[in-house]
Structures are given as structure tokens and as C-alpha cells.
Amino acid sequence: MFGYYLDLALRSLKRNKALTALMVLTVGFGVAASMTTWSVFRAVSGDPIPQKSARLFVPQIDNWGPTGHEPGSNSTEPPSAMSYTDAVALMRAHRAKYQSAMYQIADSVAPKAANQSLTLIAGEAVGSEFFPMLDVPFAYGGGWSGAEDANRAQVAVISSQLNGMLFGGADSVGRMLTFGHHDYRVVGVTDDWHPHPVFYDVVNTGGFTPLAADIFLPFDTAIANDANINGSTNCNQPPAESGFKGLQKSECVWISFMVQLDDAAAVRDYHQFLVNYSLEQQRAGRFNWPPEVRLRGLMAWLAERHVVPSDTKVSLYVAVGLLLVCLVNVMGLLLAKFMRRSGEIGVRRALGASRGEIYLQFLVEAGMVGLAGGVLGLALTWLGIAGVGWVMPPEIAALAHMDVSLLATTLIVAIVATMLAGLYPTLRASAVQPAWQLKSN
């Protein structure tokens, strides 16, 4: 029976080619617009570390007090980054399972060949626990130890890209490189690790940055070596002393912080620890305001920092609106097409076809339009993804890609949406009274 319906649907669709083409085009464009913007949206809004995001937290401490907020603002939100004083205190206290202070660095790196021109690379100064906390995969070697943190060891973990550039992609553990004015021994090479968004330091990267971190240095080593801050620095007051040393003594905030807390009790304890720390600072006279701390989970933190660009969301909503209009359009066209065949329906009903069979027949026809629209939509989505670089920032556009899941989603969305649009017209068609149609003929 299904084969017969397919045949009927094909005949019907062929009979009015312009109308069929219009419906297929409408579904195709609607689906392609939504799927293209969806591909971008899912790339930027996904969980960057699904196996662990529920256990990662970002602490915030208000070291600026009420006067540090915008005039007239009711917000009590502490600064999004940390001062050196607080970051070091939290690292020393070591109250979480894993913790790391982080700041963005950038400097020149010495190339392998003398005739190669010098390049600048960006990186991150982090604690040794950064690597186990974030499940950083290694191609060679691994992170450094807590002892190396304490000794301010001249060690570095580099990205596979930098390893390719400096050492031709070979196992470079133990080799030396020059970053800025200092030499570092490579202890690990990461294995293609490009989290999107750059969740560990959204304060400095905004989440999406054209500058991938190519080098990781021990935090205290970077501080000791005066490694340039590449990220943003925010101050409520100018530092009393100039230079990097002055910055470290100031209340300026420029350090990101992340901790791993494995259960609810640990989260509670850590929150209490932050409050107690702030109270201590208050007693010591550094803060003259009551504790104001935050301890957000990673996903809540990303939402708070508005990591998903609002343009991406607006585009998605507008494209879904377009799909909706397309479906209303298809619904109207299907209705017109089906009702025009009232006579045919009357004859089929009179010859013994049940309402259910008529229903199925027309749903198959709607489904075929959906399938054709889906195939067209797939081609257009592919084009859309290729062209998304024209309309979105490159670091975001680069994340959109066609994969099996998007391919399946596109087809399913097209077919399901068209069948949904076909439900009402089909219902109307199956409700045609045979006697009425036969009489009028």
C-alpha cells in the first residue's frame, strides 16, 4: 500500500511542477537558514568539557567594595577576575581538589631555523593542577609537578601546533625553547586540544579568540620572569607603584581562577572558605566591607559572562522565524493542492478507501515534499556553512561544520516540519465527503 501511495504522491507532485518546486524551495530555504545558524549556535554554546563541567567552579572575591561598582549600579557582582594578592592566597590555601590561577601571556618564540622570521605566540601561565583539572590530553610527556611550581622551574607545555613549528612535530620532551628572554625545557606537548569556548579563561579571551594558547608556563615562573600580560587588566584605582611589580601589589584584577570540587559538600566548604577569607581580609583592614563572593559552576559562569555572542542568538531566532514562515507557506500551498483534488478523494472514498488511508496517502505526499526540501536544504546548508565566514567573525565561523548529526538533523527537521505543516491540510482532505464530491460532478 505504501508503494502505491508513493506512486500517487509522485504523480500528483509531477502534475503541478511549479507548485511542487515552490514548496520544495520554501522548505529548502527555511531549513537551510535555520540549520546554518544552528550549526554556529551549537558550536559556540556547547559544553566545552561535558565530562567535567559540573565539577568545575569559578570563585570571585569582591576586592573593590561598593565604590568599585559603576555609580548608581545596584549590582554587587564582584570583579570577574582576581587580584594577584587573592589569587596567590587561594593557591596557597589549596582548599579545592584542584585549583589554578591563570593569566594570558604573549611573547616572541625562538624559531628552529635561523632564516625563519620571528613570530609571536600567545599562551597561559597556569598552575600544575591545570592539566589534570581540565583533562588536557597530551601527545608527549605531561604537565609539571607541584614541586616545579614551587621551584619556579623553567618548564613549558606547548601545543601540537607550536611543536610542529619548532620541532617538526617530533617528541620534543626535554628540548629547549626560548620564549621572550628566557629559556624553557619542554615537559609536555598537548594533543590537539582546542576547547571552544576557551572556558578556562573567558575573562581574557571572551571565550572565542583568534589567538590559540600555544604555550603554558608555571604561574610563579611567569611572574618571576615578568612575562607580559596579554589579557585585560582592570583597576578601580591606579597602582601605587609602576610596572609589573606595582601591578602585583595593586588591587587591579587580571587573573582568572578555576577550581575542581567533586561534591556538594566540597562546594559548600569552598564557598565558606571564600567567605572566611574575605572576613579575614576585612579584619586585616584590606576590605572595609562585608564579604561578597561568588562560586559559580562552569556553565553558569559561561552564561554570566555572555560567552555566546548575542548576534549568534539573534541570527538563530530570526532564522527559525524564517522557517516558521516557510512552514505556514507550505501549509497554505498543501491545503490548496489537496483541496483541489477533492473530486479524486471523493472517488477513492466511494471505491472503498477509508479516511485513514486517505490520510496516509496525503501524509506520504507531504513527507515527500519534506524529503525533497530536506535534500535541497542539505545542499543549501552546506553552502551556508561554507559562506558563514562572510557574515560571522572568523573565530566563530571556523567552528561551524557539517557532520553526521547536522546532516541527520537537517533531514529530520525538514521532513518532520513539512509533515507537521501537512497535518492540517491532510486532515481536511480526509474529511472530504465522497457523496458531496460525486454529486457535484
Partner 1 sequence: MTLPPILAALRKHKSGVVLITLQIALTLAIVCNAVFIIGQRVATVQRPTGMDEQNLFLIQQQIVNAPTGNDAASLERRYAMLRSDLMTLRGLPDVASAAPVRSLPLLQSSNNGGVGLQPNQDHSTATTTFYGGDEDLLKTLGVRLVAGRNFTASEITHDDRGGDWQPPVAIVTRALADQLFPAGDALGKTVYFNGGAVPTTIIGIVARLQTPNVGWGSDYNWNSTLLPTFPNDTYTRTAVRAKPGQLDAAMRDARQALVAANPQRVIRNGFAGFIGIYPYSDIRARAYRADIGMALLMGVICLVLLCVTGAGIVGLTSFWVGQRRRQIGIRRALGATRTDILRYFQAENLLIAGMGVALGAALAVGLNLWLMQQFAMDRMSLLYVLAGVVALLALGQGAVLAPALRASRVSPVEATRSV
Among 55, 294, 337, 341, binds partner 1 (CB under 8 A): 337
Tell whether the torsion through CA atoms of 364, 367, 371 and 376 is positive or negative.
Answer: positive
Residue partners of 408: CB distance under 8 A and separation at least 6: none
Among 33, 125, 213, 432, binds partner 1 (CB under 8 A): 33
> Which residues, listed in sequence order, are joined to residue 157 by a DSSP beta bridge?
188, 216
Among 142, 164, 169, 239, binds partner 1 (CB under 8 A): 239
Three cell numbers, residue 346: 471523493
401 near partner 1 (CB under 8 A)? no
Interface positions, 11-30, toward partner 1 (CB under 8 A): 19, 22, 25-26, 29-30
Among 122, 153, 358, 385, binds partner 1 (CB under 8 A): 122
Rounded to an integer, what distance in angstroms lies between the CA atom of residue 84 and that of residue 103?
10
CA-derived radius of gyration, the chain = 30
Q: Which is nearer to partner 1, 174 or 246 (CB)?
A: 246
**Residues 180-209 vs partner 1: string with x where CB under 8 A?**
xx---------------------------x
Q: Which amino acid is at 260?
A: Q
46 near partner 1 (CB under 8 A)? no
**Residues 145-174 vs partner 1: string with x where CB under 8 A?**
------------------------------
Rounded to an integer, what distance in angstroms lies between the CA atom of residue 286 and that of residue 5?
80
245 near partner 1 (CB under 8 A)? yes
Q: Which is nearer to partner 1, 93 or 347 (CB)?
A: 347
326 near partner 1 (CB under 8 A)? yes
Q: Which is nearer to partner 1, 93 or 235 (CB)?
A: 235
CB atoms within 10 A of CB 112: 11
Interface positions, 339-378, toward partner 1 (CB under 8 A): 340, 343
Exposure of 101 in the CB half-sphere (CA atoms within 13 A) = 25
Three cell numbers, residue 185: 625545557
Among 46, 137, 174, 393, binds partner 1 (CB under 8 A): 393
Three cell numbers, residue 432: 472530504
**Residue 269, Cβ density class (10 Å: 0-12 exposed, 13-18 middle, ≥19 buried):** middle
Q: Provide the minimum distance between the beta carbon of 101 and partner 1 in the complex, in angstroms, as a whole number.
A: 21
CA distances from 439 to 326, 343, 436 (A): 36, 10, 5
Interface positions, 268-307, toward partner 1 (CB under 8 A): none
Q: Provide the minimum distance between the beta carbon of 211 and partner 1 in the complex, in angstroms, as a whole number.
A: 5
Among 324, 360, 375, 398, binds partner 1 (CB under 8 A): 324
Q: Which is nearer to partner 1, 128 or 426 (CB)?
A: 426
Rounded to an integer, what distance in angstroms lies between the CA atom of residue 439 and that of residue 353?
18
**Residues 87-116 vs partner 1: string with x where CB under 8 A?**
-------------------xxx--------
* Candidate ranges 4-12, 41-49, 359-367, 392-400; the one touching partner 1 (CB under 8 A): 392-400
Q: Provide the minimum distance between the beta carbon of 440 and partner 1 in the complex, in angstroms, as a whole number.
A: 8
Q: Provide the minimum distance between the beta carbon of 348 and partner 1 in the complex, in angstroms, as a whole number.
A: 18
Of 119, 202, 128, which is closest to residue 162 (Cα–Cα)? Answer: 119
Q: Count residues near partner 1 (CB under 8 A).
A: 69
**Residues at the contact surface with partner 1, assessed by CB under 8 A:** 19, 22, 25-26, 29-30, 33, 67, 70-71, 106-108, 117-122, 180-181, 209-211, 226, 228, 235-239, 242-247, 309-311, 313-315, 318-319, 321-322, 324-326, 328-329, 331-333, 335-337, 340, 343, 390-394, 424, 428, 440-441
